[in-house]
Amino acid sequence: MKYDPRESAAAPADSSQEASFAETALKLGGKSAEEAQRTGAVDRADDQVEALFAPRYQTVNSPVHRAVWDRTFPLELFQSASQETPEKARQVMQDSLQVARRHREANSLLDDQGKIAEHVLRELGECGYWGLLVSQDYGGSGAPFASFGTFLTEMSLQDPTVAGLASVHGCIGAVDPVRTFGTPEQKERFLPKLASGERLSAFALTEPGAGSDLTALSTTATLDGDSYVVNGEKLFITNVTPGRTIGLVCLIEDRPAVLIVDLPDEENDQFQLKKYGLYALKRTYNRGIVFRDFRVPAENLLTPPKGDGLTIAYHGLNLGRVALCATAAGNMRIMLASMLPWAKYRETYGAPIATRELVQRRIARLTGFIVAADALVQWCAGLIDEGYRGEMECVVAKIFGSEAQKEAAIELFMKTHGGRSFLHGHLFGDHVHEYLAPCIYEGEGEMLGMAFFKSLVKQHGKQFFEPIGKALQSAGIRQPSPWNPRHAWLLKGALIPYAKWLTRETLARPRKAALPPMPAALRGYAEFAAQQLQRGRLEVSSAMRRHQLALADRQCRMSQLSHRLQTAICMLCTSLYAARQEDEIIRQAAEVMCRELQAQLTGEALGDRDFRAQRKLGEAVAEGGFSSIANLHPDEILMPYK
């Protein structure tokens, strides 16, 4: 991510002393002071992250926000362009793929504990793998994030864990916090070692009692001379072993902060790892960390220009969310490559199941999931390279990628392989937890969906509904009635601006998005998706008007609205992406995916025409038509019966 300090100076000043919109709403809604205060702290951290970005790249000017609230549809912001990869980064990527491929083919990727072996990590470091997102000034190759995202999909075809470690290290580990918030001295001290792989990194945020509630931190750091003394416990920290470098989120003087911590090479009385059984992430280390009077140099404290440790934590999550979707696109390719030989081999009633319509539909849907995930990765990563914060957009990619991978694994991959899915050595049985766990990583899907919704309505709420709420509180009205003349009179000043907005939007004629030349079917889906987003503002505003300050408690309603808008975004991005591709299979897959998404939004049942399209696509993919899996070597068929 990048931001322009000269332009961000024009952004709203740090409002840490003022009540946030969320805090005000909760107070007016009768919530406890503690809940209002904690929610307000998260809301202010969000404001502080916003202030790091130039105004034109902030959430109110983001593609999703403008697509819903602007009168003119910002189609150009959904038109992602391919990114040129610098020669140095391209060479690093090629060399890294070769290392992973060589060790995979030689069965030398893993050590005797079933983890990615140290010699593999070291060889990847020699290639420059760990420095892809570090600038060349500090020993990295400075890859654009769009190039990095596409590369992660390629690496996941060699080994998903190796791909995931690049995301942990570069996106949510110590690399992003230091390169974004570090002083010149801190960058010089940490980034070269992080780029070379001499120090791999992790991010220590989660605690036993602080998961999605980031305000429940209890790990503390107290200044003592020229160092901080850390006490507390972290949990579920991926890629942590002795000798690693971590970004540690803790409380300093009761405020969240981030310390960059070089862990000792061995455990001691002040630093210990907490080991536990974990089904997911089995090829890397995931452990808890216990600190007891552990000393960290005071010079390792990161100090963002605005905000605190939550600001730093929020900043890096978007990169990890896009990386997750990129890795899911690779995992789903592996599933598809495994399904096809089995579908041709397995016979029922004298015919291969690849000729059965239900199996053809599964193949088609899985291909559609892959194309949609590719589209979202290219779009979101491109926005980040342009300088956008991308908060809502990256949430869409994370949720779609993780949920698509889950459905692909259970409904398509497992059911096609039947009972053999549970044999030792089968991809599904051996990796099912890896396929499901991303629904939790980087934020559980429905919780993130509500965060998406809150980001979407924040400005609208501040502009129109916060004044109404304050007027209600001032007048002592708990249950306003539109038929009560006194209520109408007391609220008229706050209601008039919203009434004008609502009247104008209700009477306005919808405008069609100015779409580029594209195939007719994909154009129809793009137009439909754009219309859904434009209509969303009245539907969202209606929910805000109906539930007023109680909307914060209407989690199911927020989740439903959020999901509908996310579905339209996926549909729009997929259709636009496919229209730019020459491969007819990609276009057909996008049509199948968009038709399914459209049916979700309309409640319409798929018909015979849709099933014919799925069957046609499934047949073509089964016969080798999907070029992006052409070079994959599927796993062997277990317990063959011939």
SS3 letters across 563-587: HHHHHHHHHHHHHHHHHCCCCHHHH
Q: Which domain holds residue 170?
A: 87-196
Q: Based on C-alpha coordinates, what's the Rg of the chain?
A: 25
238 plus 272 within the same structural domain: yes
Residue 562 has pLDDT above 50, yes or no: yes
Tell me, yes or no, whether 389 lies in a domain: no
Sorting pLDDT into bands at 50, 70 and 90, what band is 519? Answer: very high
222 close to 179: Cβ distance less than 8 angstroms: no
Q: What is the 3-state secondary structure (H, E, C) of 496-533?
A: HHHHHHHHHHHHCCCCCCCCCCCCHHHHHHHHHHHHHH
Instruction: Report which of 49, 57, 53 is spatially closest to residue 316, judged by C-alpha positions.
Output: 49
Residue bearing the bigger pLDDT, 237 or 486? 237
Q: What are the angstrom distances between the C-alpha of 138 and each of 94, 117, 238, 305, 374?
A: 21, 26, 25, 22, 30
Residues 167 and 180 in one domain: yes
- Whether 36 has a pLDDT exceeding 70, the answer reads no
Predicted TM-score (pTM) of this structure = 0.93
Q: Is residue 189 located within the same domain as residue 206?
A: no
CA–CA dist 403, 618 (Å, integer) = 21
Asked whether the beta carbons of 54 and 4 are under 8 A apart, the reply is yes
Residue type, 45: A
Which residue among 177, 196, 215 closes a domain?
A: 196
269 occurs within a structural domain: yes
| Gap between the Cα atoms of 588 and 591, Å rounded | 5
Say if 478 falls within a structural domain. Answer: no
141 and 187 belong to one structural domain = yes
Q: Are residues 180 and 207 in the same domain?
A: no
pLDDT in tens, 390-426: 999 999 999 999 999 999 999 999 999 999 999 999 9
Residue 77: inside a domain, yes or no? no
CA–CA distance from 149 to each of 78, 120, 137, 145 (Å)?
Answer: 17, 21, 22, 6
Q: Is residue 167 part of a domain?
A: yes
- 209 and 148 in one domain? no
According to the model, what pLDDT value does residue 634 have?
Answer: 87
Q: Is residue 627 part of a domain?
A: no
The CATH number covering residue 226 comes to 2.40.110.10
Predicted local distance difference test score (pLDDT) of residue 22: 56
- Residue by residue, DSSP assigns 35-100 as HHHHHHHHHHHHHHHHHTS-GGGSGGGSHHHHHHH-SS--GGGG---PPPPPHHHHHHHHHHHHHH
Residue 131 lies in a domain: yes
Of 172, 196, 220, the residue that ends a domain is 196
- For residue 24, how many other CB atoms are within 10 A of its CB? 21
Where residue 100 sits, what CATH number does that domain have? 1.10.540.10
Q: Are strands 201-204 and 245-252 parallel, antiparallel or unpaired?
A: parallel
What is the dihedral sign for C-alpha 16, 17, 21, 22?
Answer: positive
Residues 184 and 111 in one domain: yes
Within this chain, do residues 251 and 192 fall inside the same structural domain, yes or no? no
Of 32-46, 171-185, 216-230, 423-437, the one with minimum mean pLDDT is 32-46
Report the mean per-residue pLDDT for the chain. 91
Does any domain span residue 325? no
Q: Which range has the top average pLDDT, 22-36, 39-53, 261-275, 548-562?
A: 261-275
Residue 173 and residue 239 share a domain: no
CA 321/CA 533 separation, integer angstroms: 22
Q: Are residues 167 and 238 in the same domain?
A: no
List of E strands, 298-381? 347-348, 351-352
If asked whether residues 128 and 188 sit together in one domain, one would say: yes
- Residues with Cβ within 8 Å of residue 435, at least 6 apart in sequence: 331, 405, 406, 408, 409, 428
Q: How far apart are CA 344 and CA 478, in angstroms?
A: 66
Last residue of some domain: 259, 285, 302?
302
350, two tokens: 């004298």
How many domains, in total, are found in the chain? 2
**Same domain membership, residue 216 and residue 191:** no
- Identity at 434, one-letter amino acid code: E
